[in-house]
Structures are given as structure tokens and as C-alpha cells.
Amino acid sequence: MSHKLTDGGQVLHVGTLARVEGEGGMHIEIKDGHVGTVELRIFEPPRFYEAFLRGRAWTEPPDITARICGICPVAYQFSACLALEDACGVSVPDAIRTMRRLLYCGEWIESHALHIYLLHAPDFLGYPGAIEMAKDHPAVVERGLRLKKVGNQLMTAVGGRSVHPVNVKLGGFYRMPTVSELKSLRPALERGLEDALETVRLVSTFDFPDMEQPYTYLSLRPEQGYPIESGNVVTTAGTAFDVQDFNAHITEHHVAHSNALHARLDGGGPYVVGPLARYTLNFDRLSPLAQQAAREAGLGETCRNPFQSIIVRAVELVYVFDEAIRIIDAWRDGVAPSVAVPARAGQGFGATEAPRGVLFHRYRLDGDGTILDAQIVPPTSQNQPSIEADMRTLAERWVELSDHDLSHRCEAAIRNYDPCISCATHFLDLTVDRS
Amino acid sequence: MTALPKLAVWKFASCDGCQLTLLNCEDELMALAGQVEIAYFPEATRAVVEGPYDVSLVEGSVTTLDEIERIGQVREMSRHVVTIGACATSGGIQALRNFGDIAEFRSVVYAHPEYLSTLARSTPISAHVSVDFELRGCPIDKHQLLEVLSAYIQRRRPRIPTYSVCVECKRRGAVCVAVANGTPCLGPVTQAGCGALCPAFARGCYGCFGPQDTPNTSALADRLLELGMADDQVMRIYRTFNAASEPFRRESERHEAARNEEVLS
């Protein structure tokens, strides 16, 4: 919808930005064919997690911070665990780290399948949503739902349920899943791997606008494997640092048009976290099958087109299915479900790769484990400045398009990031102001 | 042919997990789409069918002035309003602000608190408009959600039990973690619906479905104290995802007072 302003300018208004998690809006001002202010507005009401975590016990953040996001609760649980275990000087055994990776694979499968099929694909195939898309492409939507379901089944087996799993605690799990419980998932995971490969083939046929991002990419990189549940920070600017030095490199700013804080790297321009960053910085760590799928889809070892993030998500799906099957096949019963994490005074840092990018937690504890101070930096607030920069690039290039078409392009560009506005606080409402 | 009932899904302050539970009905979603018209559900589709709506599912709590206005509009447009989850039903985890100082909270998280517009308390939907049914859980259970939707499609009362988690736990044949291991467990005062999930994973219930019908919170609190918990811990166990629900709020405040007295003496 568009209407005239009293000063002769024009405002285009596209209600709620749909198919994102949370609530936000977009504002673009165009004057004499030139793009002025571009703002991603986040209206999701603040919920003040960092404030009310103070005074809680050191054992509580995995359950409490899970509630920041229903789409990626495991990311919150494990970033919290790493930070609090770091504060208490505890490092969990490899077997527990492996089981965490398996639960996290479930969350990546669920979240990526949701985004690829239900939220993102309708942009490329020209439908308002997946339910409408299902009328013409029933097999495609069925495959998406089948993939999502396997992710949920894996999360339920390891975590008890897929939204806000109950089985995660500091030091590990309340109860380890057994070999027979895990093996029963294998047929569904094998089918899922086939579906994931089919997904890569499908999305690689989509029509992608020609666009290259110049931004710095930032992701974790562990000693082995593709980054999921651990790793140090690396960037395409050539910097590398430990998670505990996050605050020395990343600064957050509060801007008037958003209830999410904006993040900057080393005082410089915008940087990007998420699938494109992980892929570009860790292509060598993908399994041979995932690398082959990427090559067949026409991707190089780096990817700088944000619209192609849908292909990278599909390649990551292949990887996490591969990885989940590998972990399940190697799993043996008899592993202690957790190690003790006694409280001590100190500060701890933790970061993991949420499906949409690096999620950082920091906690400061007093001697009896009471939380004195908490800091959470979600992926969407780190991506916010880049989302705005992409909007500007698109608006400048397609300034001649009708408001309707430009709005569609811009919404799609926002969805490239799989933004979780619930995480970054939440709501998208697009306005283009032309004068 | 009669028109399909129109379903709308609304979001207030929340994590999206209860809406996601609807999308997590993978086997039922397409069948559901044939039984109802999904008329407004921005998380799933940009298509919007104008109201009025037969059933509105409402996720999230009310935390801003805008939201007070919006929930009034939702009520006006809806034949039935069903709240989904702990936020919409009791104020959610963000109702922890109700026990603190919101001005101070703002300044802890944000450098420019003047940019924010937020209320001092997080309140359930029923504090603002009449609600036809409240579905519990943080998050809700997908089978209960499907039962509620079926009930409204078939124009009957939803069959959702209001007894405690203990009943489900016994039925499941799980070992009582409180009796066998002395693990603090809110099962005796928490409404069923999860299937006694936590005890099945060898942990105590943490009350994410909120208080059962007429819960004896103080008797359970006494037992928790006997098990060795301090008043501060009892206060916190009642003060999580349903902290502002009346029985849990009263019990947590009782132990907050006891803790403060202990500190003074």
C-alpha cells in the first residue's frame, strides 16, 4: 500500500513482514531517485533477560535463556552451558560434547528445513506461503515437512522435546539416550539425508539476483569438523580470536529505531554471521558428501550472494544429517550423563553456532554461584547492520521498480538472513518513503 | 458448502515457540489446512484474509501500550480467543520484571532507555480481554493444541485435564524422582499436559505448565525445605515461566519474605 505525504513525498507501506520469526519493520526513504535513510526497525518488545538473570543461580540459564527463542532454544542452552562451565573452570568430556553436537544437529535440521521450505522457498517460487505453495508443489512441501519432522524427532530423542528441551543441564545431560533409542532414528535420518541432497538440487535451480556482499564474514572454527557447538572466532578479514576476547573485538550500539542492539567488528563496517560466513570460512571442514553437493549446485568454496544462502543452508542440511548418522553409529552406552559443575567466583564466556549464526554469552558469578552480570549477543543483532546495507544496495539498484516489486525484493533480502527477531528482541513492517 | 472456519494466529511478547508448535504438526498440517482457512498467520504466510475470525490463537504476553490496544482489536475481530502458552496465559518468563524495578532493568540492557516503550509489568491476555480457553505450557504440547483446534472446529468443549503432572507420571509408570531420589519436583502442583516429561528424563518437574486446579503450593514448599532447599531456592523454583500465576506468585513471595527475614537476623 502506498500513500502521499503532506510534503509531496511518497510512503509505501507493506504491513507486517511475514515469514520471519518475530516482529519488525523496514523503512526506506527515496528522494529524487536516490536512496536516503534505510532502517530495519525492530518493534518486538524487549523482555530484559540480561536484567532478570541477575540474582538467579548459575545452574538456571540453560532453561531460562532457552525461552529467548522457540526456534533455536538449543543454541541458547549450549552457549549458556559453555559460558557457565568456563566460569566454573569445568570442561566437559568429549562424549558429552559429542552428544551436545547430536542434539544441535537436530536443531539445525528443524530450523533449516523450516526456513528453506516454509519461509524462504515461497519467495523464489512465487507464493505468499508454503500452504499456498503446497497446492501446486505438494511433493516439495511434503519433503520439507518430512525433513523438519526428523529434526524434531532427533531433538525429542536427545532433549525430551523439540521446543525448549528439558534434558540439558550444566555439565551435560540429565539422562543419556541409549544406543537402541538412537539407532531407531537411523532409517528416518537416512531418508532425511536423501531428502537433503534433493533439497540442494531443488534450490540450486532457483533464480538468484546477481549480488555480491563485500562484508566481513565471522564464524566459529573448532579444532575439528564444521563449527556447530564450539570453536574459536575467525573472520575473512584475517583476524582470529578466542571467544573470551569477543568483547574486545565486537561492540554493541543501541539505535533509536530498534529494540535490538547493533554490533560492529573492530570498530569497522558491518559483518555477517550465519550460513554464508560458516561456509566460506569452513568449506574445508564439510564432509566429502556435502562438498560434492555444493559443487554440483554450482557453488565455489566461498559464497557471497546472500540470496544463495538458501543453497548453503541446504548444503549444511546434508552435512548435519551426515554428522548425526556418524555420531549415532559410533555411540556406545555407559557414558556418564554429566560431570559436576560446582560454583565459584569468576567470569565465563561461551559461543556456539545457532542455525542463523554465532551466539555469544558471558556471565559473572559470585562465590555461591549467584549471577552478578549477564550478556547475550544473538546472531540477528550482529546481522542487522548488514541487512540494512543489503536493503540499500537493492533499493539503489532497483529504484525503478514499482513499490510493490521493490517491497517484495526487500522482504526477500531480509529473509535471506533467516532473521530471528524474537532473539534480537522481534517484527517487520516495510515502508518506502519516496519524495 | 459451508465456509471453512477462519483461523488467525497472533503474536505478543514471546519466543515464537508456541506458534512453532503449530508448524511442528508436520503430519497434521495439510489436513488442518483443509479443515480451516488459515486467514492470518504472518509467521507462515504473507497472505492475509480480513476478519472477523472464528478462532484466534494468541501467543505472548502484554508488555507495551500498543499491545493493550492490539489485543482489544483482536478480541473484537474474533469469535473465540484461545491463548497458547505460558506467556499469554500467565505473563511468561518476562513477568520476572513484575518483581523488579523496570527503570533499572531498562538501563541494564539498553544504553538509551529513552528509546524504549515498555510497561512495568508483563500481563496475561486475560488481564485485558475475555478469553475463551487458555492452553498451558512453555511450550504448549502439540497434541493438546490439536485437541483444542478440533474442539473449536467441531463446536465442543476442549478436553484438557486440569489435574497434576503426578497423575501423568503414575500413568506413565515413571519412578517418582522426589520419593526415590529426593529430587525437588513441582509435579504435585503443576498441571498435566507434558506427559510427565522431566521425571521420565530423571529430573524434577519445573512447572512449565503452571499451577494445576487448586494446588497445595505451601505443603509442597514445606517438603522442599525438608529436602534441604533454602527459602531463596524455593522462591526461585516457583518463580520461572509462570511466575505471575496467582498460586505460584503468592508462594514465591512468601519465601522471598522468609529469605529477607533470614538475611536481616
Mind listing the pLDDT tens digit for each residue in A143-190? 999 999 999 999 999 999 999 999 999 999 999 999 999 999 999 999
Please state the ipTM of this predicted complex: 0.95
Cβ neighbourhood burial of B48 (10 Å; 0-12, 13-18, 19+): middle
Alpha helices by DSSP H, chain B:
17-23, 29-35, 65-77, 86-90, 102-109, 142-153, 165-172, 177-181, 197-200, 217-226, 231-238, 246-264
Q: Are residues B143 and B183 in the same domain?
A: no
Integer Cα distance of A25 and B214 in angstroms: 43
Integer Cα distance of A343 and A370 in angstroms: 9
| Residue among B13, B46, B48 whose CB faces A47 most closely | B13
Q: Is the pLDDT of residue B110 over 90?
A: no
Integer Cα distance of B85 and B208 in angstroms: 9
| Residue among B24, B64, B115 whose CB faces A254 most closely | B115
Q: Are residues B72 and B115 in the same domain?
A: yes
Using the 8-state DSSP alphabet, how is residue A420 labeled? B
Question: What residues contact A361, with CB distance under 8 A and at least 6 apart?
Answer: A61, A65, A76, A79, A80, A82, A83, A349, A350, A351, A374, A375, A376, A377
CB proximity A188 to B under 8 Å: no
Residue from A279, A253, A224 nearest A112 by CA: A279
The distance of B66 to chain A (nearest Cα, Å) reads: 10
pLDDT at residue A427, as a whole number: 29
- The grid coordinates of residue A382 equal 550482529
Contact yes or no for B197 and A160 at CB 8 A? yes
Give B114's pLDDT tier (boundaries 50, 70, 90). low
Give A46's pLDDT tier (boundaries 50, 70, 90). confident
- Mean pLDDT over residues A92-99, rounded? 98
User: Is residue B34 in a domain?
Assistant: yes
Cα-only R_g, chain B:
20
- Mean pLDDT over residues A342-349, rounded? 98
Indicate the residue among B130, B153, B176 that finishes a domain: B153
> Which residues of B are less than 8 Å from A64 in CB distance?
93, 240
CA dihedral A292, A294, A296, A300 (to 10 degrees): -110
Give B214's pLDDT tier (boundaries 50, 70, 90). very high
Mapped onto helix, strand or coil, the DSSP state of residue A360 is: strand
User: Is residue B216 in a domain?
Assistant: yes
Instruction: Please name the residue of chain A whose CA is at the shortest distance from the CA of residue B14.
Output: A422
**The domain spanning residue B26 has which CATH number?**
3.40.50.700
CA dist A350 to A95, A378, A397, B240, Å? 19, 12, 40, 23
DSSP string, B220-243: HHHHHHHTT--HHHHHHHHSSTTT
User: Is residue B249 in a domain?
Assistant: yes
Q: In chain A, where are the structural domains located? A: 2-45+403-434, 49-382
The distance of A223 to chain B (nearest Cα, Å) reads: 32
Give yes or no for a contact between A112 and A355, defined as CB atoms under 8 angstroms apart: yes
The dihedrals phi and psi of A278, each to the nearest 5 degrees, come to -60, -45
CA dist B195 to A123, B66, B213, B241, Å? 38, 37, 17, 18
Q: Are residues B135 and B255 in the same domain?
A: no
Cα-only R_g, chain A:
21
Range from A74-78, A415-419, B125-129 carrying the lowest mean pLDDT: A415-419
Contact yes or no for B94 and A47 at CB 8 A? yes
Residue of B15, B102, B175, B183 best to disrupt the A interface, most CBs of A under 10 A: B15
Q: Are residues B140 and B212 in the same domain?
A: no
Give yes or no for a contact between A73 and A164, defined as CB atoms under 8 angstroms apart: yes
Give yes or no for a contact between A283 and A301, defined as CB atoms under 8 angstroms apart: yes
Give B113's pLDDT tier (boundaries 50, 70, 90). low
Choices 3.40.50.1400, 1.10.10.60, 1.10.645.10, 3.40.50.300: CATH for A49-382: 1.10.645.10
> Which residues of B are less than 8 Å from A56 in CB distance?
236
Q: Is the pLDDT of residue B255 over 90?
A: yes
Q: 549444511: which residue's cell?
A: A316
Chain A, 259 to 288: residues with Cβ < 8 Å from chain B are 259, 261
Using the 8-state DSSP alphabet, how is residue A117 labeled? I
Chain A, 146 to 165: residues with Cβ < 8 Å from chain B are 146, 148-149, 152, 160-164
The distance of B190 to chain A (nearest Cα, Å) reads: 16
Integer Cα distance of A410 and A407 in angstroms: 5
Indicate the residue among B87, B122, B153 that finishes a domain: B153
Q: Are residues B26 and B101 in the same domain?
A: yes
More confident residue, A10 or B218: B218
User: Is residue B160 in a domain?
Assistant: no
pLDDT digits (tens, 9 = 90+) for B219-253: 999 999 998 999 999 999 999 999 999 999 999 99
The distance of A184 to chain B (nearest Cα, Å) reads: 18
More confident residue, B18 or A14: B18
User: Is residue B1 in a domain?
Assistant: no
pLDDT at residue A398, as a whole number: 86
Give yes or no for a contact between A29 and A36, defined as CB atoms under 8 angstroms apart: yes
Give yes or no for a contact between B161 and B215, defined as CB atoms under 8 angstroms apart: no
Q: 532454544: which residue's cell?
A: A73
Integer Cα distance of B200 and A118 in angstroms: 33
DSSP string, A367-391: TT-BEEEEEEE-HHHHHHHHHHHHH
**Which residue(s) pair with A271 in the sheet?**
A216
Using the 8-state DSSP alphabet, how is residue B187 labeled? G
| Residue among A70, A130, A254 whose CB faces B110 most closely | A254
User: Is residue B159 in a domain?
Assistant: no
Give yes or no for a contact between A174 and A337, defined as CB atoms under 8 angstroms apart: yes
Average pLDDT, chain A: 89
Indicate the residue among B128, B153, B178 that finishes a domain: B153
| Residue among A63, A128, A162 whose CB faces B46 most closely | A128
Single-letter amino acid, residue A165:
P
pLDDT at residue B71, as a whole number: 97
User: Is residue B42 in a domain?
Assistant: yes
Q: Are residues B106 and B223 in the same domain?
A: no
Residue from A169, A12, A25 nearest A100 by CA: A169
- Structural domain total, chain B: 2
Percentage of chain A modeled with pLDDT above 90: 67
- Mean pLDDT over residues B74-81, rounded? 97
Q: Are residues B78 and B171 in the same domain?
A: no
Using the 8-state DSSP alphabet, how is residue B100 labeled? S
Range from A372-376, A378-382, B189-193, B250-254 carrying the lowest mean pLDDT: A378-382
**pTM for the predicted model, two decimal places:** 0.94
Q: Is the pLDDT of residue A11 over 50?
A: no
Give B183's pLDDT tier (boundaries 50, 70, 90). very high
Alpha helices by DSSP H, A206-298:
246-249, 275-282, 288-296
Q: Are residues B118 and B173 in the same domain?
A: no
Q: Is the pLDDT of residue A19 over 70?
A: no
pLDDT digits (tens, 9 = 90+) for B196-208: 999 999 999 999 9
Q: Are residues B149 and B28 in the same domain?
A: yes
Q: Are residues B47 and B129 in the same domain?
A: yes
| Residue among A148, A169, A254 whose CB faces B112 most closely | A254
Q: Are residues B147 and B235 in the same domain?
A: no
- The grid coordinates of residue B102 equal 523496570
CB proximity A135 to B under 8 Å: no
pLDDT at residue A258, as a whole number: 66
User: Is residue B189 in a domain?
Assistant: yes
Q: Are residues B39 and B117 in the same domain?
A: yes
The distance of A290 to chain B (nearest Cα, Å) reads: 26
Question: What residues contact A209, with CB distance under 8 A and at least 6 apart?
Answer: A305, A307, A394, A409
Quote the domain boundaries for residue B188. Answer: 165-264
pLDDT digits (tens, 9 = 90+) for A208-246: 999 888 889 999 999 999 999 999 999 999 999 999 999
Q: Is the pLDDT of residue A265 over 90?
A: no
pLDDT digits (tens, 9 = 90+) for A275-313: 999 999 999 999 999 999 999 999 999 999 999 999 999
CA dist B129 to B67, B76, B120, Å? 12, 10, 19
pLDDT at residue A4, as a whole number: 38
